[in-house]
Amino acid sequence: MNRLEEAKQKALKGDGVSRDEALWLFESDDLTALCRAADEIRDARCGNAFDLCSIVNGKCGRCSEDCRFCAQSARYPAETGAYPLLAADELAARAKADHEQGVQRFSIVTAGRTLSEAETEAVCAAVRAIREACGVSVCGSHGLLSYEQLVRLRQAGVARYHCNLEASRRFFPQVCTTHTYDDKIAVIQNAMRAGLTVCSGLIIGMGETAADRIDLALDLRALGVRSVPVNVLTPIPGTPFEQLPALTEDEVCRTAAVFRFVLPQAAIRMAAGRGKFEDKGARIFRSGANAAITGDMLTTSGITVARDLALLRSLGFEVARA
């Protein structure tokens, strides 16, 4: 039995590979064999179910944080609009429209370090309006909320909270200095304690190493996170990362595949950046990924729900309603 097969058998049991094994996989020469094995793990551990979600930029711009990839930071001259929290009826209408197209989950995303008391109540009201309007599963992404705020979201009807780690503990200070990796970990743990499931992942292409990506995946495994967004950096003019080179599709496929070996049961969710590839992510979805964000992203355009559904069905995936 060769080393790739040994790693696959270990992942098939549900344990996930070790750090050294993951590093070896990242450096292996046969990308086709790696991706095929990752897809076999996905099929065995998760089946053909595909988790499709959409997001709405519920509050845009003027963010106090200095995340160097983000056009919404008030610290950078990136060209992006700014507006306060959208009204509950508008958010409910967006959620209902996406759900009617076949989206299972709908997330309200707000710019800023956290929510004020008034904003927390307004988001809760919007969640209640969405739940009354349709059967979509509601997610929230509102920064560094307190445990009490997270409990209020759950009571309003939020099922899942999103808080990306973004980068490994080692690399995180190169990405953001206004909050810490441990701040993010605390939110994830508080969300779980509040009764929410958690969605947390990373952005690749910010200058991190393969080891950084693997270390983050291992931290997510230790935390028990089962929805893992993989964003591919889109360098935005006016941000500190605007000159970084774009990743190749091979690099993204390799990352998705290794994440499947580390996180056999997780929803590996392709998020921002896949739209730049000609096949819109088809190869990545055959490299171990089994979830995606569809429609527009926060400050960049995405892929329509109809196009994604057609692609996923052509690949043999089953997209069920929430």
pLDDT single digits (tens) 64-105: 999 999 999 988 988 677 899 999 999 999 999 999 998 999
Largest CA distance in the chain: 60
Assess whether pLDDT exceeds 90 at residue 11.
Answer: yes
pTM for this one?
0.94
Mean pLDDT of all residues in 23-35: 96
* Separation of alpha carbons 56 and 140, rounded Å: 10
The predicted pLDDT at position 94 comes to 94
Nearest to 141 by CA among 72, 217, 78: 72
The predicted pLDDT at position 112 comes to 93
Assess whether pLDDT exceeds 60 at residue 198.
Answer: yes
Mean pLDDT of all residues in 205-230: 98
Task: Tell me the pLDDT of the chain averaged across its residues.
Answer: 94
The predicted pLDDT at position 81 comes to 79
Assess whether pLDDT exceeds 70 at residue 54.
Answer: yes
For 219, residues 6+ apart whose C-beta sits below 8 A from its C-beta are 165, 168, 169, 185
Q: How many CA atoms lie within 13 A of 45 on its CB side?
A: 28
Mean pLDDT of all residues in 280-296: 92
314 or 302, higher pLDDT: 314
Mean pLDDT of all residues in 289-317: 83
Mean pLDDT of all residues in 242-257: 96
Nearest to 228 by CA among 188, 287, 268: 268
The predicted pLDDT at position 32 comes to 97
Q: What residues are paired with 84 via a beta bridge?
A: none
Mean pLDDT of all residues in 37-58: 95
Assess whether pLDDT exceeds 60 at residue 298.
Answer: no
Mean pLDDT of all residues in 151-161: 98
For 93, residues 6+ apart whose C-beta sits below 8 A from its C-beta are 133
State the pLDDT confidence band at 61, using cuts at 50, 70 and 90.
confident
